[in-house]
Amino acid sequence: MIDSSEKVQVIDSHTAGEPTRVVLDGTLKLGSGTMVELRDRFQENGDWLRSSLLSEPRGFEAMVGALLCESLDSRCEAGVVFFNNAGVLKGCLHGTMGLIKTLEFMGRISFGEHFIETPVGVIKADLRSDGSVQVTNVPSYRYLSNVELNIEGYDNVIGDVAWGGNWFFLVESGGPEISHLNIGELSSFSVAVMNELESSSITGKDGTKIDHVEIFGPSEDPIIADSKNFVMCPGGEYDRSPCGTGTSAKLACLYDSGKLKVGQKWKQAGVLGTVFEGEIIQEDRGNIVPLVSGQAWVNGKYELIVDPSDPFCYGFK
């Protein structure tokens, strides 16, 4: 909470339709440290900023925030802590693509490879001359396969649990039709899946909560994409993009079931029809290293004012 008005500089972008709001200034005095330490300090002291920036009337629930930090790792151009309407996020590839385009917009980087420190590891991002961003994600893997869930009103709901920088339940059969005209049903089905995972104690490794649900359906055009998805994020909002960490989890499942090999490409469309291209570049004892590329655009640069006399200064749900 704050005692007097704060001005917060942000740059907005969207990646394949999914927004990212990069917070530029040192409004929060988090000091220096690893991104894990800064994430923990942000969680303790920065929740007012998180909710102010991402909730109405200043933001909206689908927005992802990216706190731009200095990294102590000399390889890294910057560090980042991602957050959304529910709290801090583990990994976020659409956000990484947005951050790279933002750093280019700020004149800090140009074409080529850059390293970014995140709380889940160091990520390599290549800003390519066609304007796209290709991100080498953290090692990803399938943890559980063919898990059957009991979801009222649906038959044969079967999926996998996989890590791609976040924990995902990937619904491979029995889910609703993937269409932007069907967001309501896709959302309520995803919430039912999350609840069922929790009540059946189905988790990621070490008991970690699965906080993303990804539902798959056929691609409308096999030349444009291999598959179409809908991704529900923690906080109950859906990803407007095909979700980079979700695409990484999908690549891990395809690899583990022998359907995709190192070097083969996979084009994943999201619910709006925008596409991320994925590829496995390496494998090591069941873990794969995913490469995911997509397009992001900077679409705003603002100074936001957070005034404690405003009854909605921290936003409302």
Binding residues for ligand PYC (CB under 6 A): 18, 64, 89, 91-94, 233, 239, 241, 243-245
| Whether residue 243 lies in the annotated active site | yes
Q: How far is the CB of 57 from ligand PYC (least distance, A)?
A: 22
| Secondary structure (3-state) at 302 | strand
The answer to whether 224 and 267 are in contact (CB under 8 A) is yes
Active site residue: 69, 76, 233, 243, which one?
Answer: 243
User: Do the strands 167-173 and 212-218 form a parallel or antiparallel pair, or are they unpaired?
Assistant: parallel
Q: Please say which residue, 43 or 173, places its beta carbon nearer to ligand PYC.
A: 43
Q: Please say which residue, 66 or 313, places its beta carbon nearer to ligand PYC.
A: 66
Q: How far is the CB of 107 from ligand PYC (least distance, A)?
A: 25
User: Do the strands 227-232 and 265-269 form a parallel or antiparallel pair, or are they unpaired?
Assistant: parallel
Q: How far is the CB of 204 from ligand PYC (least distance, A)?
A: 15
Q: Please say which residue, 250 or 313, places its beta carbon nearer to ligand PYC.
A: 250
Active site residue: 69, 76, 92, 313, which one?
Answer: 92
| Whether residue 69 lies in the annotated active site | no
Q: What beta strand segments (E) does the chain contain?
A: 6-15, 18-23, 64-69, 76-83, 112-118, 121-127, 132-136, 141-149, 157-163, 167-173, 212-218, 227-232, 265-269, 275-284, 287-306
Q: How far is the CB of 250 from ligand PYC (least distance, A)?
A: 12
Q: Please say which residue, 12 or 18, places its beta carbon nearer to ligand PYC.
A: 18
Q: How far is the CB of 140 from ligand PYC (least distance, A)?
A: 11
Long-range contacts of 201-210 (CB under 8 A, 24+ apart): 202/144, 202/147, 202/149, 202/161, 202/169, 203/161, 203/167, 204/143, 204/161, 204/163, 204/167, 205/143, 205/163, 208/167, 209/167, 210/161, 210/167, 210/168, 210/169
Q: Please say which residue, 91 or 176, places its beta carbon nearer to ligand PYC.
A: 91
Neighbours of 185 (CB within 10 A): 15
Which residues are part of the catalytic machinery? 92, 243
